[in-house]
């Protein structure tokens, strides 16, 4: 069974994430969307809200599992028999950052990272942009799935 983890903070889930997840789920037998917990980070949405956004968005997809975790992603993979880390790339800066993480992860454990380019139509969307639009009372609904349209 090919199992992959798609890790992130998902604060909040965006249409860019949805694009990557919908295309990625076709590549694996199971795709675990793993919300990482970072005590040093200030989140706009609670862990429970972020998990619910994702669960509601993908409730009809049996190959998707949503979990939360702390610590290194490779440790989660080893503890849960996950062979692949799945990541989306929006731009060259994402690639450079993700490449360094992928090399580090491979040094720590025999886990491959698989990259997928985001669709051109969503490549400009990031969670930080969405949060900024929300904070400034802008129309963020075109940037997120219906499950996130709560504010």
Q: Which of 41, 42, 60, 142 is catalytic?
A: 41
- Residue 113 labelled as part of a binding site: no
- Residue 17 labelled as part of a binding site: yes
* Phi, psi angles (nearest 5°) of residue 94: -60, -45
- Residue 50 labelled as part of a binding site: no
Active site residue 70: no
- Residue 131 labelled as part of a binding site: no
- Residue 129 labelled as part of a binding site: no
- Residue 125 labelled as part of a binding site: yes
Active site residue 121: no
Q: Are 93 and 55 in contact (CB under 8 A)?
A: no
Please give the DSSP secondary-structure letter assigned to residue 49. Answer: H
- Residue 98 labelled as part of a binding site: yes
Q: Which of 3, 50, 51, 127 is catalytic?
A: 127
- Residue 49 labelled as part of a binding site: no
Q: Which of 90, 99, 106, 131 is catalytic?
A: 90
- Residue 147 labelled as part of a binding site: no
Q: Which of 3, 17, 50, 51 is catalytic?
A: 17
Active site residue 46: no
Q: What is the DSSP string of the chain?
A: --EEEEEE--TT--HHHHHHHHHHTTTSSEEEEEEEE-TTPPPSS-HHHHHHHHHHHTTT-TTEEEEEEES-HHHHHHHTT--EEEEEE-SHHHHHHHHHHHHHHHHHSS-EEEEEEPPTTTTT--HHHHHHHHHTT---TTTS-GGGTT-
Residues of the binding site = 9-10, 17, 41, 73, 87-90, 98, 122-128
Annotated binding site for substrate: 9, 41, 73, 87
Active-site residue list: 17, 41, 90, 127
Q: Which residues are annotated as a binding site for ATP?
A: 9-10, 17, 88-90, 98, 122-128
């Amino acid at each position: 069974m090919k199992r992959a983890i798609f890790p992130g903070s998902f604060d909040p889930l965006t249409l860019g994430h949805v694009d990557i997840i919908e295309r990625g789920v076709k590549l694996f037998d199971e795709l675990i969307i793993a919300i990482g917990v970072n005590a040093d980070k200030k989140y706009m949405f609670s862990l429970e809200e972020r998990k619910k956004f994702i669960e509601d968005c993908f409730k009809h997809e049996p190959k998707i599992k949503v979990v939360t975790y702390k610590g290194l992603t490779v440790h989660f993979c080893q503890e849960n028999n996950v062979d692949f880390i799945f990541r989306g790339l929006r731009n060259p800066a994402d690639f450079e950052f993700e490449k360094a993480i992928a090399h580090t992860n491979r040094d720590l454990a025999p886990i491959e990272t698989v990259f997928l380019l985001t669709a051109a139509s969503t490549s400009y969307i990031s969670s930080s942009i969405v949060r900024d639009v929300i904070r400034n009372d802008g129309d963020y609904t075109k940037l997120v799935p219906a499950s996130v349209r709560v504010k």
